[in-house]
Amino acid sequence: MQVQEMAKKTVADIDVKGKKVLMRCDFNVPMDEDCNITSDDRILKALPTIKTILASGGALILMSHLGRPKGQRNEKMSLAPAAKRLSELLGQEVIFIEDCIGPETKAKAQSLADGECMLLENLRFHKEETIKDKAAKEDAQLRQAKDDFAQQLANLADVYVDDAFGTAHRDNASMYTVPVLMEGKPRVIGFLIEKELRFLGEILQNPERPFVAILGGAKVSDKIGVIENLIDKVDRIIIGGAMAYTFLKGRGKSIGQSLCENDFINKGQKLLNQAAEADCEVVLPVDHDVTRELKAGTPHRTAVGDIDPGYQAVDIGPMAIKAFSKKIADAKTIVWNGPVGVFEIPPFDRGTKAIALAVAEATDNGARSIIGGGDSAAAVKKLGLEDRVSHISTGGGASLEFLEGKKFKCLEILDEQ
């Protein structure tokens, strides 16, 4: 069964009054050097589920990861600032626990009153959180360590809620092993995941046409599965970013020093042939913003067609911007994942900004648009266009795997409607 076909129970379908509720959320928020949160967007998006559980009389135990501490305690990656910010947003104290397992954590969870909320410290301070299932199957010691860690978390509560779409494609202990160990107890999704599944599912199952996919980023290898899955579903695939040059080189174009995955040139041409057979139009850039050195303020120019030796493409050119925008303008369904240039270094963000504006204008004209997290979401937010797109996904990697048609086993095991 594909993820998009699932009808999962949500927190609205169960009674949490008088129960301990363990909720996996995604508080992987960006912070500055002084550990100040620079965007609380992920905390804000968890609020509907959190408020519903608290208002319904549940005692809420929140767990999340932050960054990649690699199984070591790292104060720069503590969730304490997230607890503070959540307290402000809820208007009530969120009790912060300095570990996610252990006797003190268990005692605090047991004493938590109905309507109270606590946040556990970063799950990834324990290496057991990120032990891969494949490794655990091959190594009994690793499997036992992961199970022991997950069991301590599972023992904290009567109900499991998953509202962390950003990690829905991972087999982390908190995402998969914990709900497996809580079999027989209610295991449901929160409103954020419900919204993600609804938008992504509906857009793939029942798109209004023309259906346009915009794919960018550095690597073709990251997007091959997505392209293969979308060829029979969309009317047009617009390809920008460094990944475009693997396709262009395969078509015999000179690409200078532009990034190219030579091992995927043949696969890229096969995908273009598949698309042609499926009557799916593929749009590649016809001109490029090129430079000799990738850094802010460096001289750059436009190259039409071939790129001279010593130069690399860092953005789509003005003709490509115009062509891409025209192909987006009449769309009724749009999926966008990945920037079309080196978005983080101005002025090589010009193409990505233009795409963001084109998607917003198409949405204004009645299109449904989904932004697949990551840099494309950052572009939309930076331009203040959040309210002019239909949905911005909270999970870049997760939304990408969803578009590939991959199954999310951590969601499959949760309770069906």
| pTM for this prediction | 0.88
User: In the annotation, is 341 catalytic?
Assistant: no
Tokens of 321: 């911007």
User: Are 183 and 243 in a shared domain?
Assistant: no
Distance CA 184, CA 143 (A): 22
What confidence score (pLDDT) does residue 201 get? Answer: 86
> Is 209 domain-assigned?
yes
Report the chain's mean pLDDT, rounded to a whole number.
Answer: 94
Task: Say how many domains are in the chain.
Answer: 2
Q: Which residue has the tokens 């870049």?
A: 396
Q: Per the domain annotation, does 411 fall within a domain?
A: no
**Could you identify the residue written with the tokens 């905390």?**
43
What does the pLDDT read at residue 399?
84
The pLDDT tens digits of the residues spanning 127-150 come to: 999 999 888 889 999 999 999 999
Give the domain-ending residue among 192, 226, 245: 192
Does 84 lie in the same domain as 179?
yes
How many other β-carbons are positioned within 10 Å of the β-carbon of residue 78?
20
Final residue before a domain boundary, out of 143, 160, 192: 192
Q: Is the pLDDT of residue 401 over 50?
A: yes
181 and 245 belong to one structural domain: no
236-239 and 281-283: which strand pairing? parallel
Q: Which domain does 399 fall in, by range?
A: 199-403
**CB neighbours (10 Å) of residue 220?**
27
In this structure, the answer to whether residues 203 and 181 fall within a common structural domain is no
The answer as to whether 416 is a domain residue is: no
Give residue 90's pLDDT band: very low, low, confident or very high (50, 70, 90).
very high
The region, left, alpha or beta by phi > 0 then psi within -120 to 50, assigned to residue 297 is left
Count of CB atoms situated within 10 Å of the CB of 414: 20
Residue 368 has phi, psi (to 5 degrees) of: -100, 130
- The CATH number that applies at residue 107 is 3.40.50.1260
- 167 and 25 co-located in one domain: yes
| Residues 241 and 111 occupy one common structural domain | no
Of the listed 42, 236, 249, 353, which one is catalytic? 42
Give the active site residue among 219, 332, 381, 406.
Answer: 219
Contacts of 124 (CB under 8 A, 6+ apart): 65, 66, 67, 68, 69, 70, 71, 77, 130
Cis amide linkage into residue 318, ω under 30° from 0: no
Catalytic: 397?
Answer: yes
- Of the pLDDT bands very low, low, confident and very high (cuts 50, 70, 90), residue 218 is confident
Position 6 confidence tier, pLDDT thresholds 50, 70, 90: low
Residue 409 lies in a domain: no
- Helix residue ranges, H only, 302-408: 318-329, 350-364, 374-382, 396-403
Q: Are 279 and 170 contained in the same domain?
A: no
pLDDT value at 408 more than 60: yes
For range 281-295, the mean pLDDT: 95
Say if 383 falls within a structural domain. Answer: yes
Mean pLDDT, residues 201-220: 91
In a domain, residue 146? The reply is yes
What beta strand segments (E) does 51-147 contain? 59-63, 94-97, 117-120
pLDDT at 3: 41
CB 64 within 8 A of CB 165: no
Strand order across the 281-283 sheet: 281-283, 236-239, 211-215, 333-337, 368-371, 391-392
Question: 240 an active-site residue?
Answer: no
285 and 312 belong to one structural domain = yes
Please check whether residues 78 and 94 belong to one and the same domain: yes
Instruction: Give the side-chain half-sphere CA count within 13 A for 205.
Output: 11
**Do 314 and 213 share a structural domain?**
yes
Same domain, 171 and 243: no
Query: Which residue has better confidence, 275 or 222?
Result: 275
What percentage of the chain exceeds 90 in pLDDT?
A: 83
Rounded-to-integer distance, Cα 23 and Cα 186, Å: 12
Give, in order, the Cα–Cα distances in Å from 367 to each of 105, 188, 245, 356.
48, 31, 29, 14
pLDDT tens readout for residues 229-264:
999 999 999 999 999 999 999 999 999 999 999 999
Give the residue carrying structure tokens 């204008």: 361
Is 73 known to be catalytic? no
- Percent of all residues in the chain with a pLDDT value above 70, rounded to a whole number: 99
Q: Pick the closest to residue 401 from 222, 233, 207, 171 (CA basis).
A: 222
pLDDT at 2: 43
Q: Which of 166, 190, 256, 374 is catalytic?
A: 374
Same domain, 275 and 392: yes
The one catalytic residue among 185, 397, 406, 407: 397
For residue 161, is it within any domain?
A: yes
Residue where one domain finishes, among candidates 162, 192, 222: 192
> Token pair of 119, please?
């946040």
Residue at 412 is within a domain: no
